[in-house]
Homo-oligomer: A and B are copies of this chain.
Amino acid sequence: MRIALDAMGGDYAPEAVVKGAILAAEQLEKDDVILLIGKEDVIQPLLNEYNYAGNNITIVHASQVIEMGEHPTKALSQKTDSSIAVGYGLLKMQKADAFCSAGNTGAMLVGAMFSVKAVEGILRPSIGGLVPKLNGGFGIMLDVGANADCKPEVLEQFGEIGSIYAKYVLEIPNPKVGLMNLGEEEGKGTVVTQAAHQRLKANTNINFIGNIEGRDLFNDKADVIVCDGYTGNIILKMAENIYDILNEKNMHDPFFDKFNYEAVGGSPILGINGNAVIGHGVSSPKAICNMVLQAQKMVSSKLSERFHKKYSV
């Protein structure tokens, strides 16, 4: 397995990424390789400085960097030798099984759509957010930001896509799908969620349990939480902020500690021809390590192939 990792992406890159890669390399299988993408003359000295002497990290040179504030489409078209462009190039040519970056989120999304592209039959690729559950483990919420507005049929498909992720990556048998809404009754909600409810209910591919509410995010009602990217993004950032506040107040607890982005490392892009994970801009070495391990899980569970098999005719 070859996992490409953008060495130049994130506020603390390249140092935090190189450290994270070394942490991950220690936990990967013997034959697994991390392809560390970026400026070789910057990365190699760091590997030396951190005394990395293993065989699981290979540098892939990329001379350019897309900065956090750059316009995604413009940057990708102009910086064809940027670490993100090179990473997606490797993914497209199947020289990498997964690509991870804590860099420019927009460029990661646009890059995916321009290179490996959406799986044929998938209406809208989405970003999945991992939601910690009170009774242990995680659920998956989608979308958390790729699609602000979603049509009912898109929300329905999120239920299917999320179920595949939950089943194979989170290893939850027969995952329960819930539609985020303002009330449990099926007539509640926006025009779009009301229509989506009917579609999800009629869909025999999934285990739809009905509407869930804001209070159900962390309980066991649903393993797959379906919502538009506007709503999911607000929920995710609110949860991250709760963690930050608790942390500042020195209030610690194993459940709330899982709200920390470091615990999961990143958010998978779901529904593209390849496995890609977007990390948090402020990713620490631990976050980078967990992002790589999440990508490893996506690859070993054949996530991308499963989407392709299900949707592409």
The residues of A with any CB-CB pair to B shorter than 8 Å are 134, 145, 148-149, 180-183, 188-191, 193, 213-218, 228-231, 233-242, 244-246, 249, 251, 253, 255
Q: Are A241 and B255 in contact (CB under 8 A)?
A: no
Q: Are B233 and A182 in contact (CB under 8 A)?
A: yes
* Contact residues in B for A240 (Cβ distance below 8 Å): 214-215
Give the distance in Å from the alpha carbon of A244 to the alpha carbon of B251 in the complex.
Answer: 15
The binding surface of chain A is classed by DSSP as helix
Q: Are A230 and B193 in contact (CB under 8 A)?
A: yes
For A237, the closest partner residue in chain B by CB is B214
User: Shortest Cβ distance from A244 into chain B, in angstroms?
Assistant: 8
Give the distance in Å from the alpha carbon of A119 to the alpha carbon of B301 in the complex.
Answer: 58
* Contact residues in B for A246 (Cβ distance below 8 Å): 251
Cross-chain contact of A182 among B145, B182, B215, B218 (Cβ < 8 A): B145
Q: Are B233 and A217 in contact (CB under 8 A)?
A: no
Q: Are B251 and A238 in contact (CB under 8 A)?
A: no
Q: Are B182 and A229 in contact (CB under 8 A)?
A: yes
User: Shortest Cβ distance from A256 into chain B, in angstroms?
Assistant: 8
Q: Are A217 and B190 in contact (CB under 8 A)?
A: no
Q: Are A234 and B237 in contact (CB under 8 A)?
A: no
Q: Are B190 and A214 in contact (CB under 8 A)?
A: no
User: Shortest Cβ distance from A240 into chain B, in angstroms?
Assistant: 6
Q: Are A230 and B148 in contact (CB under 8 A)?
A: no
Ranked 3 nearest A-B pairs via Cβ: A214-B237, A214-B238, A182-B233
Cross-chain contact of A190 among B148, B241, B244, B255 (Cβ < 8 A): B148
Given contacts A145-B182, A214-B241, A218-B241, contact A189 B230 (CB under 8 A): yes
Q: Are A213 and B237 in contact (CB under 8 A)?
A: yes
Give the distance in Å from the alpha carbon of A255 to the alpha carbon of B235 in the complex.
Answer: 19
